[in-house]
A = this chain, B = another copy of it.
């Protein structure tokens, strides 16, 4: 059975783009297994994700697409392979545990290179799954000093594709974020753009909301937390204490994060204008 390659194209919109892209595939005798296209007229942008099978010569295909499509077109041709990810956590196990169980079941299309934490709380859980647990404590360190140590540990993984913040409860500095631009996925313990600060479930309880939610997003240096990938919610009522809301929120968080990560690992997401196009 032929392998399936993913071709991602991000360019300015103009007439004939689908024709040009599909003609390149056709002339190379490739089969388009799937094709998704979106035009954002407000920003005059064109996005295309195709899955093609056949005898793919990645370099030649890239060159031909490059020559056919407008200047400045961004093209990615992605051969099928497992992405390499590092998980970062603090003390809560629900999001991490969900990913570990999927990993163990072979349902996570990625290699978990390591789990990094600022506490050793979750080491026993991670050890069960024979994944390296790297503890970088932040005691007595400035944020910057701590991050340098983390970055040093991460730098050893030269094949790292994505960092997944599975309830890593420290804010990353702009320097850290820049080092892994568009490569960090977070699960936000709230329904963005609400309740950004500490203990959002307590905030939500005190505000008396009837719905709580969670948001998975890429991390960038924007103030409002980066491009949103997936969100979901659950209804609550007055009888829920804030700890009940947190328990319900955790279930939403873990499912939202794993769905977002799946979209990332399948190369389904384009990021622009601080938002996402998802095919």
User: Which A residues are within 8 Å of any B CB, using their own CB?
Assistant: 15-16, 18-19, 22-23, 25-26, 29, 31-40, 92-94, 97-98, 100-102, 104-105, 107, 125, 128-129, 191-195, 206-211, 213, 224, 227-233, 235, 237-239, 247, 251, 255, 258-259, 273-278
For residue A133, give the distance in angstroms from its CB to the closest CB of chain B. Answer: 14
Our pick among B29, B210, B229, B238 for the contact of A231 (Cβ within 8 Å) is B210
A209-B238 in contact (CB<8A)? no
Residue of B nearest to A233 (CB): B233
A101-B94 in contact (CB<8A)? yes
Copies of this chain present in the complex amount to 4
**What DSSP secondary structure best describes chain A's contact surface?**
mixed
B237-A211 in contact (CB<8A)? no
Residue of B nearest to A247 (CB): B107
A208-B275 in contact (CB<8A)? yes
Contacts of A207 in B (CB 8 A): 193, 224, 228, 274-275
Given A33-B39, A94-B105, A191-B211, 18 further pairs, Cβ under 8 A: A18-B18, A18-B22, A19-B22, A19-B23, A19-B26, A22-B22, A34-B39, A35-B37, A36-B37, A93-B105, A97-B102, A97-B104, A104-B125, A128-B128, A211-B213, A235-B235, A238-B275, A251-B255
Given A129-B128, A193-B194, A228-B207: A93 and B104 within 8 A (CB)?
Answer: yes
A276-B238 in contact (CB<8A)? yes
Give Cα A25 to B39, complex, Å: 16
